[in-house]
A = this chain, B = another copy of it.
């Protein structure tokens, strides 16, 4: 449109996820598309005891008590860190933006899983990254010269979108590769607490926080200043209240029971409706089933007709760093639709795939 636009705008595309989210509010639409949490699990919120001083401008890094609380929690799961290493964010997407700003010039190499989180690929691409893949099950890597990436981006725990959880051996091998080559590891960990089955979970980041080594956190804090000065102090205070709440562990148990029940119900419905047409592994945590069609085809071509019939899902192709036509995979969120919607939505997909 404007000749004055920056060169990076050529790589600026609308997010397929956000585009799909804009249709799911239509009456009667069953959405398996986004990573939406179940609304019935939302907490009650109040500002009754909000200190008025929190309506003033505040620190870029977050309030001291919240950072201390996060550092203590991370210490409790085996990742010792100081409160000074914790940066509170306006959502995890902001962490991806800050890391991209810190590391990526046009042509910078970034190592990613394939497939991986779509919105991270978009941001990295926007800043000019090129990609090298790595196999989560063979994470011991030997990078040399121009093959060495600026950083590794990985989602080891309930990977969005396959739901897979790295074993401890795989985690150790990946960490050793990074250490040996001086390559920073950027771990994205949105679903750590959403674990339904026992599996290896070693420490990582949390939604809305970023924890980095002391030499990196200085730069990330400056980038945060330049990006939005600071995040909402109201939100930070409300999160702190949730962390302080003595009933927190009990609430998480209830939430996991609800989500585990939804996952198991969804798996049974998948088996009934699509047992012959697709294959999948049971996700031990997170929010998604990752389905592979028995007859491979580009799942993007199915989406318009699915939406016309009132069902939204996420095609697999945009989640690959290399152009992928016809990976034959799709991602379904299992916890947003209720039981009746799930039945109807999967029956519709069954019919559509059969056609």
Contacts and interface: CB of A to CB of B under 8 A. Distances in A.
A344 B293 CA distance: 75
A101 B42 contact: no
Interface stretch (A32-40, A188-196, A273-281, A307-315): A32-40
Contact of A4 (B2, B4, B48, B184): B184
A5 B183 CA distance: 11
Contacts of A36: 56-57
Contacts of A123: 226
A225 B15 contact: yes
A55 B34 contact: no
A97 to B, nearest CB: 5
A119 B227 CA distance: 10
Contacts of A13: 222
A231 B119 CA distance: 16
Given A6-B103, A94-B228, A223-B12, A34 B57 contact: yes
Nearest to A38: B56
Chain A, interface size category, equals: 35 or more
Interface stretch (A232-240, A255-263, A321-329): A232-240
Contacts of A229: 18, 91, 93, 119
Interface string A1-41: 11011111100111100100110000000000011110100
A102 B234 contact: no
Contact of A226 (B4, B45, B93): B93
A90 B228 contact: yes
A4 B150 contact: yes
A43 B50 CA distance: 12
A13 B219 CA distance: 9
Contacts of A235: 232, 234-235
Interface string A91-107: 10110010001111100
Given A219-B9, A222-B13, A4 B151 contact: yes
Contact of A14 (B56, B59, B119, B225): B225
A46 interface: yes
A101 B119 CA distance: 17
A215 interface: yes
Given A4-B103, A39-B55, A151-B4, A126 B226 contact: yes
A234 B15 CA distance: 23
A86 to B, nearest CB: 16
A152 to B, nearest CB: 11
24 contacts: A2-B215, A2-B216, A4-B150, A4-B184, A6-B104, A6-B105, A6-B127, A12-B219, A13-B222, A15-B225, A18-B60, A21-B59, A22-B59, A45-B234, A90-B90, A91-B228, A93-B226, A93-B228, A93-B229, A94-B227, A97-B226, A119-B229, A228-B228, A232-B234
